[in-house]
């Protein structure tokens, strides 16, 4: 496993080496000792799976507030996505910056998203399945989110966003006084 920094502090691309032979291939997708520096003492507490049927669908932008803030490791199992991270950390040099990463089934890449960042994705193909590893269990009372079309962030989705959940459509826009989340 190789971790590659991005221009958002703490957001890492994880590349996995796949061994191949005539039968197929084998890759290690998670190893706590290989990712110890990146996880900074956190352990995986929950694993989730999502299935998105239609190309263009958007899920997100979600995070959890402290003390339930979480790191996430995201991997695409089938299809292809445009994965988006928004830095919401108070005092961060990249506060309110967003970055998009294409993840595709079989590319042997994952994305590590630190606490204090919102996360969402757009399906670039039909039939997308995602695997999420979380360092904290989902806690409804700690849930936070911002809207996929918030003008303060201005995410440039590659396709016209569609098929958002009613919940995701109701997330508030960031106010002019929003100065970030504390960890």
| Catalytic residue list | 62, 132
Tokens 């502090």 correspond to: 9
Name 81's Cβ contacts closer than 8 Å, sequence gap at least 6.
102, 103, 104, 121, 122, 123, 124, 128, 130
The Cα–Cα gap between 159 and 102 comes to 13
Tell me whether residue 58 is exposed, middle or buried, using C-beta atoms within 10 angstroms of its C-beta: 0 to 12, 13 to 18, 19 or more. Answer: buried
Name 11's Cβ contacts closer than 8 Å, sequence gap at least 6.
5, 85, 99, 111, 112, 113, 114, 117
């Amino acid at each position: 496993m190789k971790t590659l920094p991005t221009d958002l502090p703490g957001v890492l691309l994880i590349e996995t080496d796949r061994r191949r032979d005539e039968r197929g291939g084998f890759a290690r997708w998670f190893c706590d000792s290989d990712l110890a520096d990146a996880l900074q003492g956190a352990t995986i507490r929950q694993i989730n799976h999502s299935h998105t049927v239609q190309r263009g669908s958007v899920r997100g932008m979600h995070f959890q507030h402290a003390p339930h803030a979480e790191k996430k490791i995201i991997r695409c199992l089938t299809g292809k996505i445009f994965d988006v991270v928004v830095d919401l950390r108070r005092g961060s040099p990249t506060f309110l910056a967003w970055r998009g990463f294409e993840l595709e089934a079989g590319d042997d890449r994952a994305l590590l998203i630190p606490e204090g960042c919102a996360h969402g994705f757009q399906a670039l193909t039909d039939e997308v399945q995602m695997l999420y590893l979380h360092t904290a269990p989902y806690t409804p009372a700690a849930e936070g989110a911002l809207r996929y079309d918030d003008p303060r962030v201005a995410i440039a989705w590659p396709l016209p966003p569609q098929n958002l959940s009613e919940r995701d459509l109701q997330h508030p826009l960031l106010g002019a006084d929003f100065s970030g989340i504390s960890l």
